[in-house]
């Protein structure tokens, strides 16, 4: 990377106007641009390779390399920084200033043996994560393999903004040669009390590698392009997924929303890796208020492998992804994007979300959450489609039950009724749980869907609060497949 002042001179020299709308669209959607007609200048090459290599996304880099001339590249660079400005209303781009400051510090503190500080592993982490909260240096200590005596520098972070990282992150750098060239230690010692060969040790090693991989990621890759798809409010139907929301009550009366997304296996593209089909998806959920301002956001990267021999059996199944949101009562817009990293296809959904309040003490019920215990392993939570003969579990919460003034206990009944075309097809035996001192209770029941012909059904759960003489009811719609 170039020096701090030199970087500013470079930007000033080649940046002039805002990227035209058509070019910005290409950046965000991956639209193919015309072939390069003019070779990159030394200034442009230096900006690409030495100024922003850690934070430019793959899509942005492809567009930059395809631009026809230096004027267009200058426009691109100005737009590049504007898109990262945390507060466009101010004259200062705080992100850009902080980024160049970190480059300057990295070059001053971590350069060694003719290697610029930004190119070192300590420099990369410093630029991406910022200065560590604590640094400890130990001399003549054994490395993780126990073979060499090294100088070790340990960086401690806590409270990093990346939700995929744990609250506390520790990075260890070792100087194996005494030259001042510190490299990230990638061999990990077992946790205290965990013996060699213990399965917990394998889990610890895997978790440590995952943390290192996440800490080194470009913070703008994937999430940036997905957020843009959401905010454009354009509907992409290349991945036709479904989502459902279930509202429950948290302590203190705050609503808590569980989100379940079902993505058909046939709509996403696997990539062969080591004899397995590897899937890689990015999913973002955004919630906006009545003014269109984003009030909540969740993102998740989903990667997994499947035996190619199961391809035929999965053609009618879905990849299920779950997340949750905590919102104040009110009406919101909720927006989802599913992005297939292998094919580049996207799917979006936009809907209204009504979040009820639970703090007023009125008797009410949560939504009904249906789950299926699949034969192949993990339960499918929030399922809507079940197989004939499959076991269904239903869970619902009841809030603000009345308590007896003398005993301080509740008393209620729960009925489970299955309907098809408004006609009762099955009525389960009534449940009468043992009285307790709880005003808020969870009710669970399980049913074997034996003899259910294919079609759509309604499960109606009715709760009778015997103390208050009040009846509550909640429906859940599901389908039985062939």
**Residues 219-276: tens digit of each pLDDT:** 776 655 666 666 655 566 788 899 999 999 987 788 999 999 999 999 998 989 889 9
The pTM assigned to this predicted structure is: 0.55
Query: CA triplet 245, 247, 252: central angle to 5 degrees?
Result: 150
pLDDT at 190: 47
Q: Tell me whether residue 44 is exposed, middle or buried, using C-beta atoms within 10 angstroms of its C-beta: 0 to 12, 13 to 18, 19 or more.
A: buried
pLDDT at 19: 33
Comparing CA positions, the residue from 257, 241, 261, 264 lying closest to residue 348 is: 241
pLDDT at 324: 87
418 CB neighbour count, 10 Å cutoff? 19
pLDDT at 219: 75
pLDDT at 149: 64
Q: Strands 255-264 and 242-249: what pairing?
A: antiparallel
Q: Which residues of the chain, if any, have pLDDT below 70?
A: 1-37, 140-149, 187-208, 221-236, 373-380
pLDDT at 27: 40
CB 476 within 8 A of CB 458: yes
Give the torsion through C-alpha atoms of 125, 126, 130, 135, to 10 deg.
100
pLDDT at 32: 46
Domains, the chain: 4-96 (no CATH), 132-215 (no CATH), 229-359 (2.60.40.10), 361-482 (2.60.40.3880)
Total residue length of the chain: 482
For the beta sheet containing 255-264, the strands, ordered from the edge strand earlier in sequence to the opposite edge, are 242-249, 255-264, 318-326
Instruction: Give the pair of three-digit tokens for residue 282.
Output: 């990015």
Q: Strands 385-387 and 470-481: what pairing?
A: parallel
454-477 in b/e burial notation, b at 16+ Cβ within 10 A? eeebbbbbbbbbebbeeebebebe
Q: Residue 58 is inside which H or E element, if any?
A: helix 58-66
- Is the C-alpha dihedral spanning 186, 192, 194, 195 positive or negative? positive
Report d(CA 107, CA 118) in Å as an integer.
6
pLDDT at 409: 96
Comparing CA positions, the residue from 431, 436, 432, 433 lying closest to residue 410 is: 436
Phi, psi of 63 (to 5 degrees): -65, -45
Q: For the chain, how big is the Rg over CA atoms in Å?
A: 28
pLDDT at 295: 84
Instruction: Give the pair of three-digit tokens for residue 355.
Output: 């979040």
């Amino acid at each position: 990377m170039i020096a701090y002042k030199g970087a500013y001179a470079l930007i000033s020299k080649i940046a002039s106007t805002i990227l035209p709308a058509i070019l910005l669209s290409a950046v965000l959607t991956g639209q193919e641009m015309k072939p390069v007609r003019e070779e990159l200048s030394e200034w442009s090459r230096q900006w690409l390779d030495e100024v922003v290599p850690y934070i430019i996304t793959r899509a942005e880099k492809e567009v930059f390399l395809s631009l026809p001339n230096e004027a267009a590249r200058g426009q691109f660079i100005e737009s590049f920084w504007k898109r990262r400005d945390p507060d466009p209303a101010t004259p200062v781009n705080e992100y850009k200033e902080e980024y160049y400051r970190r480059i300057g510090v990295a070059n001053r503190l971590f350069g060694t043996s003719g290697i610029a500080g930004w190119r070192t592993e300590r420099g990369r982490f410093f630029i991406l994560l910022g200065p560590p909260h604590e640094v400890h240096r130990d001399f003549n200590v054994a490395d993780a393999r126990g073979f060499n005596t090294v100088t070790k520098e340990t960086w401690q972070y806590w409270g990093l903004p990346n939700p995929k990282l744990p609250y506390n992150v520790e990075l260890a750098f070792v100087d194996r040669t005494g030259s001042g060239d510190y490299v990230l230690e990638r061999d990990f010692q077992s946790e205290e009390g965990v013996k060699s060969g213990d399965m917990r040790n394998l889990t610890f090693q895997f978790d440590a590698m995952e943390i290192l991989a996440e800490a080194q990621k470009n913070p703008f890759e994937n999430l940036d392009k997905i957020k843009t798809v959401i905010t454009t409010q354009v509907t992409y139907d290349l991945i036709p997924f479904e989502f459902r929301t279930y509202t429950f009550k948290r302590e203190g009366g705050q609503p808590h929303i569980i989100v379940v997304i079902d993505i058909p296996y046939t709509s996403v593209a696997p990539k062969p890796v080591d004899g397995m089909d590897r899937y890689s998806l990015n999913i973002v959920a955004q919630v906006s208020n009545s003014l269109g301002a984003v009030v909540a956001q969740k993102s998740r990267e989903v990667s997994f492998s499947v035996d190619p021999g199961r391809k035929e059996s999965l053609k009618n199944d879905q990849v299920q992804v779950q997340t949750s949101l905590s919102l104040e009562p009110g009406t919101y817009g909720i927006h989802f994007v599913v992005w297939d990293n292998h094919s580049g296809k996207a799917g979006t959904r936009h809907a209204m979300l009504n979040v009820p309040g639970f703090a007023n003490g009125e008797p009410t019920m949560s939504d009904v959450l249906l789950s299926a215990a699949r034969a192949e392993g993990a339960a499918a939570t929030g399922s809507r489609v079940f197989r004939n003969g499959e076991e269904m579990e239903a869970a619902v919460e009841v809030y603000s039950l009345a308590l007896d003034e003398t005993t301080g206990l509740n008393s209620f009944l729960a009925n489970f009724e299955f309907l098809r075309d408004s006609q009762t097809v099955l009525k389960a035996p009534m449940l009468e749980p043992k009285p307790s001192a709880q005003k808020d209770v969870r009710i669970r029941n399980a049913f074997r869907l034996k003899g259910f012909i294919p079609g759509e059904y309604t499960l109606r759960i009715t709760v009778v609060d015997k103390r208050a003489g009040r009846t509550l009811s909640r429906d859940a719609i599901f389908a039985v497949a062939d």
